[in-house]
Structure 1
Amino acid sequence: MRVFTVLGPSQAGKSTLVRAMAGLDKEAGQKLEAAGVVTLQPFSFMGEDWGAIEVAGGAENLAQAGPALAASDAAVVCVPADAEAAVLSAPYLRKVEEAGLPVFLFINRMDQTRDRVADVLAGLQTYCAHHLVLRQVPMREGGQVVGAVDLISERAWSYQDGKPSALVELPDGVRPREVEARGELLEALADFDDQLMEELIEDQEILVKEIYDVATRTLQHSQLIPVFLGAAEHCNGVMRLMKSLRHEAPPVEQALARLSPGGRVVAVGCMGELVKHLGKSVLLRAMNADCSSGTEMAGQAIGGLTMVAKGGNGSLAMGDLGRVVKSDHLRLGQVYLKDGARALPDWAQPRPATYRRLVTPVHQRDEARLSTALERMGEIDPAMEVTQDEATGHALLNLQGPQHLRRVIQTLKAEFGVEVTEDMVPPALRETITKPVEIHHRHRKQSGGAGQFADVVIAIKPLPRGSGVTFDDCVKGGAVPRNYIPSVEAGAREALMQGTNGHPVVDVAITLKDGKHHSVDSSDYAFRMAGKAAVREALGEAGLVLLQPIVKVAIHVPSVFSGNLVPMVSGMKGQILGFEAEQDAAGWDLFETLLPMAAQDELCSALASATRGTAWFQSGFDHYEEARRGDFGAK
């Protein structure tokens, strides 16, 4: 079975293209869907079994593309025939180039465009490190695209609505453009083939078969990206694309070599879902050996396996797709060895999950069920990270965006019967002092029996940001016995856990300077209470101020939108550090800034708006700084 992934921006016509490809031989199988984001369409074409994995458009859904691409022999990037919309394709072109897969570019809806193909191609080339080469040029009548000319065979095809294109004579008006474009194609191919270069220089006749052979090699080595034209809604250009996939896409052995140079990978999971009353279902592709129910995979035997192409139980040959149930040890986002599993390569990993939300069950009795449900969901959704919020103890979801959150909440209710509410994550505020203070505190208690006595003199002073909390002593003459000093420190640190505004106190130095003890009534407990009370009293006099966490944010953004980020970040009270072109991503900038952590949620939505959903970011804690007037109600 041969497998390819179709991806591209929203509204580019990906589903229509897959449907048209699957309908060429009228033998399409049952479509499989996972999480409303990824679908598999099995079908037959010219006697071969195929699987088309479609990833829904949208920045949040791109996280699901990694496993699909890892299991594929090639990728098809479907883009609209709109020069101004070229930037919307940038994230998908970047993803497939990082993956190193052979890529076919399909410019869709050619029947509706008024733009020149050269302009559309120039816009796309901005975001492609590989050279894009036209394999076809359009034929127009009255400004409308009515067909295309294949630049290798030099055959002209007239589009027919809902039918295969008809072979026609090459119109005289198209011939000059065809000759020019064919020359550009041959020159691009000749850069990777010395014999073809020699034949071009010597003006020799070049055989069509030779050109196809060179085109196939450059595609399989990911040296060039061929560009095809069509209108999937009318089945125009679909046959040409499908035939190119059939003849030029590499065999499964190349996908195996990309994932496992040593060849130890048995299979790779490409889709996963949770099915009510059935459990976890993983769609996997056999990569290196036949697989069947009971096959040892990832250290355990797999459960029931259903073949995708032919249906029913059976054995998957190398390259085949199958659906596995009752195999809870299989996680998405991994390649499976016989005796274990390992993570997919870096290029297949999802983007950082920067959209954060706290989720709590509507019914308290569902606390344990929620924890179990989130753990199960994480096994088939590598784009979701689940942690625990330190302040509240509630489950903290790190997701790709609001749509991702909605899918998670819907799955929790539909598959696990757990209803939840979601809340924003409160900022991890801190407090610190502004001036040094010295406090003398005596803890004394007598109520029958052994008493309590501890006398301490404690000094506290502010430290530079990021210094944390330090404790030392300069007690002389045994005024406070050495064995009680750790108790004083424990009490002092306990007092710092909550300042006057209810937040931990940081960046202070505490020094035990003097004290007194009683030979009978002094104890570890008494000195702990004395240390705690002394520090609390000192905090009340030391001028506490509120600190907010600042994160360093690296925004990956198409260069055309970089200017939009300056006013956006300034409006969030951020500090711009600068931006520069990304070395490994054509047409992209890396924009760095410092932002209050509280602005991270706002950044998610504002960035999507300012960059039309193309940019993404990663962030990490940098430092604390004093909150300005009006922030978080600070006074």
Structure 2
Amino acid sequence: MPATPQDTAPASRTPDGAWPRAIALIGPQGSGKSTLFDALLAAAGSPPPRRAEGRQRPMGTETRLGHCNFMNQPWALLDCPGSVEFVQEAAAALAIADLALVVCEPDPARAAALAPTFHALEAAGLPAMVFVNKTDSLGEGRIRDTIAALQAHSRRPLVLRQVPIRDGGTVTGYVDLVSTRAYRWRPGEASELIRIPDSILPREEEARAALAETLADHDDTLLEKVVEDTIPTPEDLYRPLHADVAAGRLDPVLIGAAERRHGVMRLWKALRHDTPAAEVTASRRGIAPEGEAIAQVFRTFHAGQGGKLSFARIWRGTLKDGATVNGARIGGITRYPAAEAARAGEAGPGEVVALGRLDPLPTGATLSPSGNVPTLPFPAPPAPVFAVAIATEDRKDDVRLSGALQRLAEEDPAVFVRHDAENGQILLAGQGEMHLGHAVARLAEAHGLRVTTAHPRIAFRETIRQAARHHARHRRQTGGHGQFADVTLEVSPRPRGEGFAFEDRIVGGAIPRKYIPAVGDAAEEASRKGPLGNPVVDIAVTLLDGAFHSVDSSDMAFATATRMAMQEALAKAEPVMLEPVDQVTVLVPQDSTAAAQRLLTGRRGQILGYAEKPDWPGWDEVQALVPEAELHDLIIELRSQTMGLGTYTRRFDHLAEARAR
């Protein structure tokens, strides 16, 4: 995705008519995913990618795209961010991928970090493989322990494809359980085919039998051989393995060390064999093989003078430069061989390309020449868990800020912008401190806007504890008609959430009926700023008595007298500050539940209870009521106490008297 495309790029369809397949690399931060991305490109004969689009944004915060050919078949690789703060980037890439390659470390203690990933893949029905990276650091650990730990968080069976070969405690190669061949890794060279060591034979036979039993669940031919205790051939295993992966019934597990290029070629061959074709994925997404061209935008980028780029996967038909989709004209098509931009005149099914200048079309849009095809599903952004108030350093930039924020939110749907009219703040909300830090940096980098950040102000309210009444008289003589109004008001508390109420108890015509509405409106207006400086809620105002002058009384005079009476009555009625309290649902691994409860109670939270999250074995949901003032940096501390795994959702529950921490 660089700034300066080459002149042209050849179509990526192979001579046999195969169209590109798309693989999304996803996994926790630190798993070596980007290293594997580079290694896969290198193994396919593509040079390491440069930084895309001339941007300064750090690696690991956005999806990288690279095209390559492996064994004469075209591929699009998408390297997704590993940080939980950029989860929407990964979700968008998964929406257009044929298969997810889940990358993890061999440490069983970190297996819980994959739970959200496995659940997302299962919910989407997306086929997946698992690559256990960094096996050169396995030490005395066992791959089977890692898989067992991962299996605790996946409803799909995880089946081991390879058994590691060790030499002096170091993993030096593997036995492929399907082909029954053994390989020794060699630095900088192709792996060496070797005889299966005698020491590994019992473990190889055990693991192969387990693989066969799992595959036999959906293959009657293999089931017969398993029942008859007949040794299956490689073809007996390849056939159901391919079908089960494509159907999302199981996830095969391969091993390697991307930094040393160990296991990368074997991984490529597994991907080539088992990744569903683009048309299979299109069918899974409900797209018929016939009809007009269909594509879906999964990422948007505003490239300065280069205009808007809409990265899209084409699911059917061919799109040409200059064609019209959804009423907008395509202003350029760009491919990314080895992550280097190259212009193209057209793009066909399966391709992942950038379409230029589709300004009206948002991320997630389904594209077609007619604009009338059914909308394809696209992941909704996660609810924000962190927010800051922003303001321009130079007030003359305020006019430009609105448009820049609109483009920022279009590039990253997980960034939410809200104007808080009551507190006079522009709020930027997202998935964490780093996420919003990059959003602020993007404003400076792409739009030349430097902004300051601050904590959002809390929408405090106030109410009263007791009833109070006050008499006020407004009299003014200025020559000609003067001003006269006399009112006696009582203010009293109402139950929480009842709001404002006005009652007229005037009898005997003490105040003419025509002035009563002015008193009610002025009383409600006066409640918008109480003695403590905040809007007053849940009060009843009663007009008890008053007086008027036949010449000098008016709506304005009665409004003025009412405001005077309200100011004094509220001050005498024991005003009290109210703060918003949210119902918070915290999601954490069960071994962090107690820590989460302590964190919430330390922030003046009231624990309502906790229970295991449905379909999330090993994870708990903790329910609590927490003052909004305590939630600003909750996500930061929650993640620090849960190895980055904890998260939460919130919704307003009620107002309560503010208490000191």
In the superposition, the TM-score normalised over structure 2's length comes to: 0.91
Q: How does 1:566-605 map to 2 (within 5 A)?
A: 566-605=597-636
Contact 1:445 1:452 in 2 (8 A): yes
Instruction: Give 1:41's aligned residue.
Output: 66
Distance between the aligned counterparts of 1:257 and 1:29, measured in 2?
33
Instruction: Give 1:11's aligned residue.
Output: 30
Q: SS where residue 528 of structure 2 aligns?
A: coil
Distance between the aligned counterparts of 1:340 and 1:527, measured in 2?
60
Instruction: State which of 226, 229, 251 in structure 1 corresponds to 2:252.
Output: 226
Compute the displacement of 1:308 (Å). 3.1
Q: Which moved more, 1:194-203 or 1:314-323?
A: 194-203
Q: SS where residue 370 of structure 1 aligns?
A: helix
Instruction: Give 2:168's aligned residue.
Output: 142
2:364 is the counterpart of 1:305: no
Identify if the C-alpha distance between structure 1 residues 31 and 77 changes in structure 2 by more than 3 Å, giving closer, same or farther.
farther
Contact 2:606 2:625 in 1 (8 A): yes
Distance between the aligned counterparts of 1:71 and 1:25, measured in 2?
22
Compute the displacement of 1:164 (Å). 2.4
Instruction: Give 1:443's aligned residue.
Output: 474
Contact 2:329 2:357 in 1 (8 A): no
Q: SS where residue 277 of structure 1 aligns?
A: helix
Distance between the aligned counterparts of 1:382 and 1:298, measured in 2?
20
Q: How does 1:53-452 map to 2 (within 5 A)?
A: 53-114=78-139, 115-260=141-286, 266-309=294-337, 311-337=342-368, 338-339=370-371, 345=377, 348-452=379-483
Instruction: Give 1:560's aligned residue.
Output: 591
Q: Which moved more, 1:224-233 or 1:254-263?
A: 254-263
Contact 2:158 2:251 in 1 (8 A): yes
Contact 2:325 2:371 in 1 (8 A): yes
Distance between the aligned counterparts of 1:183 and 1:207, measured in 2?
12
Q: SS where residue 417 of structure 2 aligns?
A: strand
Contact 1:82 1:120 in 2 (8 A): yes
Distance between the aligned counterparts of 1:198 and 1:324, measured in 2?
52
Distance between the aligned counterparts of 2:64 and 2:321, measured in 1?
23
Compute the displacement of 1:205 (Å). 4.5
- The CA RMSD over aligned residues, in Å, is 2.1
Distance between the aligned counterparts of 1:233 and 1:581, measured in 2?
38
Compute the displacement of 1:312 (Å). 2.0
Superimposed CA distance per residue, residues 4-60 of structure 1 (whole angstroms, 9 cap, x where no aligned partner): 110111111111111111111313585574754211121110111111111122110
Distance between the aligned counterparts of 1:478 and 1:354, measured in 2?
57
Q: SS where residue 43 of structure 2 aligns?
A: coil
Instruction: Give 2:15's aligned residue.
Output: none
Contact 1:70 1:268 in 2 (8 A): no
Instruction: Give 1:531's aligned residue.
Output: 562
Contact 1:129 1:585 in 2 (8 A): no
Identify if the C-alpha distance between structure 1 residues 614 and 406 changes in structure 2 by more than 3 Å, giving closer, same or farther.
same
Identify if the C-alpha distance between structure 1 residues 48 and 262 changes in structure 2 by more than 3 Å, giving closer, same or farther.
closer
Q: Which moved more, 1:521-530 or 1:329-338?
A: 329-338
Compute the displacement of 1:626 (Å). 0.6
Distance between the aligned counterparts of 1:32 and 1:420, measured in 2?
26
Contact 2:459 2:580 in 1 (8 A): yes
Distance between the aligned counterparts of 2:375 and 2:412, measured in 1?
13
Compute the displacement of 1:322 (Å). 1.5
Q: SS where residue 395 of structure 1 aligns?
A: strand
Distance between the aligned counterparts of 1:440 and 1:25, measured in 2?
87
Q: Which moved more, 1:61-70 or 1:334-343?
A: 334-343
Deviation beyond 6 Å, 4+ runs, structure 1: 262-265, 340-344
Contact 2:429 2:436 in 1 (8 A): no
Contact 1:163 1:234 in 2 (8 A): no
Identify if the C-alpha distance between structure 1 residues 78 and 619 changes in structure 2 by more than 3 Å, giving closer, same or farther.
same
Compute the displacement of 1:176 (Å). 0.7
Specify every segment of 5 or more residues in structure 1 that has no aligned partner in the other structure, as ranges: none
Distance between the aligned counterparts of 2:513 and 2:177, measured in 1?
89
Contact 2:588 2:619 in 1 (8 A): yes
Distance between the aligned counterparts of 2:374 and 2:419, measured in 1?
25
Contact 1:29 1:43 in 2 (8 A): no
Compute the displacement of 1:397 (Å). 0.4
- Identity, % of aligned positions: 37
Distance between the aligned counterparts of 2:447 and 2:435, measured in 1?
17
Contact 2:282 2:288 in 1 (8 A): no
Contact 1:286 1:318 in 2 (8 A): yes
Q: SS where residue 68 of structure 1 aligns?
A: helix
Superimposed CA distance per residue, residues 598-625 of structure 1 (whole angstroms, 9 cap, x where no aligned partner): 1112212111101111121111111111
Superimposed CA distance per residue, residues 319-369 of structure 1 (whole angstroms, 9 cap, x where no aligned partner): 1121122221222243335427998746x2232112110110000000011
Specify every segment of 5 or more residues in structure 2 that has no aligned partner in the other structure, as ranges: 1-19
Instruction: Give 1:617's aligned residue.
Output: 648
Identify if the C-alpha distance between structure 1 residues 82 and 29 changes in structure 2 by more than 3 Å, giving closer, same or farther.
closer
In the superposition, the TM-score normalised over structure 1's length comes to: 0.95
Identify if the C-alpha distance between structure 1 residues 559 and 97 changes in structure 2 by more than 3 Å, giving closer, same or farther.
farther
Distance between the aligned counterparts of 1:343 and 1:483, measured in 2?
56
Superimposed CA distance per residue, residues 503-535 of structure 1 (whole angstroms, 9 cap, x where no aligned partner): 111111112233333332222222222222221
Distance between the aligned counterparts of 2:588 and 2:165, measured in 1?
36
Contact 2:38 2:49 in 1 (8 A): no
Distance between the aligned counterparts of 2:234 and 2:215, measured in 1?
13
Counterpart amino acid of residue 327 in structure 2: G
Compute the displacement of 1:210 (Å). 2.9
Contact 2:299 2:364 in 1 (8 A): no
Contact 2:469 2:569 in 1 (8 A): yes
Instruction: State which of 463, 479, 494 in structure 1 corresponds to 2:494.
Output: 463
Contact 1:32 1:40 in 2 (8 A): no
Distance between the aligned counterparts of 2:128 and 2:413, measured in 1?
24
Superimposed CA distance per residue, residues 485-517 of structure 1 (whole angstroms, 9 cap, x where no aligned partner): 221111111111111121111111112233333
Counterpart amino acid of residue 539 in structure 2: V
Compute the displacement of 1:443 (Å). 2.2
